[in-house]
Structure 1
């Protein structure tokens, strides 16, 4: 929980009592590799903070191909926030890539923090803005060659290169696993 509080404090000031209240509202959730935090066709019900592990946002295109849109790792907020706020059905999946440990807040708990803590909304809004920016971060520019896209991935996600399956990286880059293997071999 200390990591989560340190993260929250990057965006504003909280008193000791406010921090205690936030901690009391959060619940620890452990998910196994390939579990879903949020699923397409369902309304997102919680906001999470990743303590341990890696998660990805993904969807299926009109050809039925799985496309990885973003990666979320430790010390980050995770949520399909637009659909969470609107209480609407999601079209994307948020799935664990590794075993994960999160602190989660239900809709009720998340909304109660806004009602009880003066100054929580500006902190929350800044965190949500960063979360949405990370989630909507432009995927690799397809007009770039695949090697350039992979080098950018390594620059943007240096700690993930050896933690997640090549299939997820390939999906994110818009290349086949075989192409990705060739690219990695040529870079070394």
Structure 2
């Protein structure tokens, strides 16, 4: 819970009573590798904070191809926030790439913080903006060659490369797993 509070305090000031309220509204959970935090076809009902582990945002094309859009590592907020706020059905998945420890807020508890804590909304808005930016950040530029895309991935996500399945990295880069293996072999 302390990592969450440290994260929140980057975006604004809160007193001890407000911090205690946030802690009381949150729940710590574990999400096993490959389990979903939120799924396509459902309305997202929670906001999470990654304490430990890696989650990926992904979707399926009309042809059934799985595409990894982003990775969310430790000390980041995660949610399908547009659909969470709109109470709308999602077309994306948030799936654990590793075993994860999360701090989670239900929709009701998340909204209560806005009603109770004076000054929460500007803090929340900054956190949500960062969350949405990270989720929408464009994947590698497909016009680049695959090796360049992989090198940029390693630069942008240095702590992830040995923690997540290569199939997810390949999906993110827009290459086959075999191509990714060749690229990795060639740059060693």
Task: Show the 5 A alignment for 1:34-73.
Answer: 34-73=34-73
In the other structure, the counterpart of 1:173 is 173
Task: Show the 5 A alignment for 1:1-188.
Answer: 1-188=1-188
Post-superposition Cα deviations, 1:10-66, rounded to whole Å, max 9, x if no partner, equal 000010110000000000111111000000000000000011110000000111100
Consecutive unaligned residues of structure 2, counting only runs of 5 or more, are none
CA drift of 1:164 comes to 0.4
Alignment RMSD (CA, Å): 0.5
- Count of aligned residue pairs for this structure pair: 188
Write the distance in 2 (CA, Å) between the matches of 1:155 and 1:63: 31
Write the distance in 2 (CA, Å) between the matches of 1:47 and 1:94: 11
CA drift of 1:137 comes to 0.3
